[in-house]
Structure 1
Amino acid sequence: MGDEDDSTPPAEQVANKPEPPYQALLPNLDKLSRSSFDKGTVSRRRINRALLVLALMPVVVLAVIFVPQLING
């Protein structure tokens, strides 16, 4: 009779570990480093573009909701 832990393959042991918080939303968050934010780097430009897109999304949604009301009202 052996231990149940010994008979479990390593892949199943890894699958049983809980995911870190926000892993599904930001899978590469752990790969960010300080050099990602250095001025003039490609990654900094990508980060800034992503932040700009995220900031503009609520503005566009609000415009789609309120502009037709202003035009009709």
Structure 2
Amino acid sequence: MRDEDDSAPAAERITRESEPPYQALLPNLDRVSRSSFAAGTVSRRRIDRALLVLALVALAIAAAVVVPQLVGG
């Protein structure tokens, strides 16, 4: 048996099943192409900025975890 709610309307079940995985998290993932990573393009600059922000967030979280452990001793 499948793990789904039988009380949900049929149209809602069809919609849920037809969406690709991670569609809610990354709605434009299907629009990313090889040309998005070409040097000098707007897409490349946006990707670089997003990766920089992601790295800074990860660094801030790591610092928030490690620094109190070092100071607290």
User: Structure 2 length as normaliser, TM-score?
Assistant: 0.67
Identify the residue that residue 14 of structure 2 maps to in structure 1: 16
**Which contiguous aligned blocks of 4+ residues in structure 1 show a shift greater than 3 angstroms?**
none
Match of 1:45 in 2: 45
Q: Which structure is larger by alpha-carbon Rg, 1 or 2?
A: 1
Partner of 2:29: 29
Long gaps (5+) in structure 2: 1-10
**For residue 70 of structure 2, what is the amino acid of its counterpart?**
L
Output the amino acid matched with 1:71.
Answer: V
Match for 2:46: what amino acid?
Answer: R
> Structure 2: which amino acid aligns with 1:43?
S
Identical pairs, percent: 64
Aligned length: 61
In 1, the alpha carbon distance for the partners of 2:71 and 2:53 equals 26
What RMSD in Å do the two structures reach over aligned CA positions? 2.1
1:4 is aligned to none
Q: TM-score, normalised by structure 1?
A: 0.67
